[in-house]
Structure 1
Amino acid sequence: MKFHPLSKLFLVRIYGNRQLKTLPGQNTRPTSARVREALFNIWQGAITDCRWLDLCAGNGSMGAEALCRGAIEAVAIEQNGKACQIIKQNWQQVATKEQYFRVIRGDIRVKLKKLQSQQFDRIYFDPPYAGKLYESVLNEISAGNLLSSEGEIAVEHNPQQWEAKPIETLEICRQKVYGNTVLTFYQKASPSQES
């Protein structure tokens, strides 16, 4: 991350050596380059033409990366108004005319209810580590049937602050550890495993 003195913003580099803006401080902590690269290596081949949902989107770097790699649609939910402006700027910079994106400002649990008629192929969820959003948001994704049948959710968390477990119709399919950061991946549970 590099500081840009004129704009009082920080810059983050993503796929294709593109620079994105991000707000200073930890309120919208961007996913580290190491974790971001690892995630897109894991999901390599699944991003082109996918529908991407970015939850607690921060500066939108994950959705921007997905757009750069060929996602057909990206939707972000973020509570911080300034961050929403940054996401829009960042996504306008990388999106093509064929790609659709929108940024939704507000409480993630409320805004997810309004997406219930949609499904997404890849969902990235990176809330404040010390927050209490994990289970309620995963339950909302499950209840709203927001994950496509072949889709996956990646949840970024610190294992000392939240322990991942199966949620409603979602099962854990793998976990990857990067220092103090864990990515827990969920997919739809097979009918025999749903409770």
Structure 2
Amino acid sequence: MALRIYGNRQLKSLHGKETRPTSARVREAIFNIWQGTIEGCRWLDLCAGTGSMGAEALCRGASLAIAIEKSSRACAIIEQNWQRVASPEQEWKVLRGDILQWLPKLSGQQFDRIYFDPPYASGVYQPALEAIAHHQLLDPIGEIAVEHSPQGWNPPVVPSLEICRQKVYGNTAVTFYRIGE
């Protein structure tokens, strides 16, 4: 599958259905919403798949991008993609494994933007958002974008996070969280 990002850069992707890359339409919408906040940001890409969202963030000037992905094949693709687009002054890292095991290990770091796109029926939404809040991984003025199906979605309720907007793009919906008042 041909996958293009900012600046008409082509990325590699896995064949088959092991990952579900974020569509170009949704990717563009997210970066339009977060326009002006990516340059110099610290980006966390959860359930990263091909790493297209993190690659896009790197292309737009993120200073740091970290991907967490379970599939070793997908991790290899992310590394190839990010090597192609990152400049020498940008820091990036690909972590292979379960996000619920990795999130506590990131404690002490904060991210300006977190993109979270798990398999829609995975049941990992609530525990992952709770872990992000518990380990204070979101910068006080940062945001989390959670990709999900628009059907049957019950937004996880996490006391220290609040929903700041929700968008639907055909078969994909995105709910944005920030630290609550």
Provide TM-score, normalisation by structure 2.
0.98
Correspondence list, 1:53-68, <5 A: 53-68=44-59
Q: Choose the corresponding residue for 2:168, options 177, 185, 193.
A: 177
Q: Aligned pair 1:119/2:110, yes or no?
A: yes
Task: Supply the distance in 2 between the matched residues of 1:165 and 1:28 (Cα, whole angstroms).
Answer: 23
> Once the two structures are superposed, what CA deviation does each residue of 1:86-132 show, in whole Å capped at 9, x if it has no partner?
00000000000110000000011001110011000000000001111
Q: For 1:185, what is the secondary structure of its paired residue?
A: strand
Task: Supply the distance in 2 between the matched residues of 1:26 and 1:123 (Cα, whole angstroms).
Answer: 24
Alignment length, in residue pairs?
A: 181
Q: Aligned pair 1:20/2:11, yes or no?
A: yes
Q: Aligned pair 1:130/2:112, yes or no?
A: no
Task: Supply the distance in 1 between the matched residues of 2:46 and 2:57 (Cα, whole angstroms).
Answer: 13
> Once the two structures are superposed, what CA deviation does each residue of 1:118-160 show, in whole Å capped at 9, x if it has no partner?
0000000000011111001000001010000110000000032
Q: Aligned pair 1:49/2:40, yes or no?
A: yes
- Runs of 4 or more, structure 1, over 3 Å off, are none
Task: Supply the distance in 2 between the matched residues of 1:16 and 1:48 (Cα, whole angstroms).
Answer: 15
In structure 2, stretches of 5+ residues that fail to align are none
Task: Supply the distance in 2 between the matched residues of 1:58 and 1:86 (Cα, whole angstroms).
Answer: 9
Q: Aligned pair 1:141/2:132, yes or no?
A: yes
Task: Supply the distance in 2 between the matched residues of 1:127 and 1:149 (Cα, whole angstroms).
Answer: 24
Q: Which residue pairs with 1:6 in the alignment? A: none
- Contact 1:72/1:100 (CA < 8 Å) preserved in 2? yes
- Contact 2:111/2:142 (CA < 8 Å) preserved in 1? yes
* Partner AA of 2:119 in structure 1: P
- C-alpha deviation, 1:162, in angstroms: 2.9
Q: For 2:159, what is the secondary structure of its paired residue?
A: coil
RMSD between superposed Cα atoms in Å? 0.9
- Contact 2:126/2:157 (CA < 8 Å) preserved in 1? no
Q: Aligned pair 1:32/2:28, yes or no?
A: no
Q: For 1:26, what is the secondary structure of its paired residue?
A: coil
Task: Supply the distance in 1 between the matched residues of 2:17 and 2:159 (Cα, whole angstroms).
Answer: 31
Provide TM-score, normalisation by structure 1.
0.91
Larger Rg: 1
In structure 1, stretches of 5+ residues that fail to align are 1-9, 191-195
Q: Which residue pairs with 1:7 in the alignment? A: none
Task: Supply the distance in 2 between the matched residues of 1:168 and 1:75 (Cα, whole angstroms).
Answer: 25
Q: Aligned pair 1:90/2:81, yes or no?
A: yes
